[in-house]
Amino acid sequence: MSRDVIDRIRDAMRVVIDPELGENVVDLGFIYDITATDGVVHVTMTATTPGCPATGFLKEGVVCSIAEIAGVEAVDVTMTFDPPWTPSRIDPAVRAALGFDNVN
């Protein structure tokens, strides 16, 4: 799996916006892992909390955004809450814009 493929997958997922925070799942730090082998992409991701009502929406958005990439035959998304998401996972520029800049 090349770095270029992972970068394309990551860029594709930037269209998936968390409805609560108004930013994309990549910059929010929801994406924990991406692997791609023989046209099959596996993503491990999270949401803000285990009871987040947007979990299904976010997962479906990730699947649909990746499925549009040439050469992708299947997408598997695993939702996890271990480790728990914290604002420290947010991209620093986005964290500052959201007012979380003092959160570690």
pLDDT digits (tens, 9 = 90+) for 33-74: 999 999 999 999 999 999 999 999 999 999 999 999 999 999
Task: Please name the helix (run of DSSP H) or strand (run of DSSP E) that holds residue 79, with its range, or none.
Answer: strand 74-79
Residue 91: φ, ψ to 5°: -50, 135
Tokens 């860029």 -> residue: 11
CB 42 within 8 A of CB 78: yes
Adjacency order of strands within the sheet including 74-79:
31-37, 40-45, 74-79
Amino acid at 48: T
Confidence of residue 104 (pLDDT cuts 50, 70, 90): low
pTM: 0.91
pLDDT at 102 over 90: no
Domains and CATH numbers, the chain: 3-95 (3.30.300.130)
Both tokens of 100, joined, read 């979380």
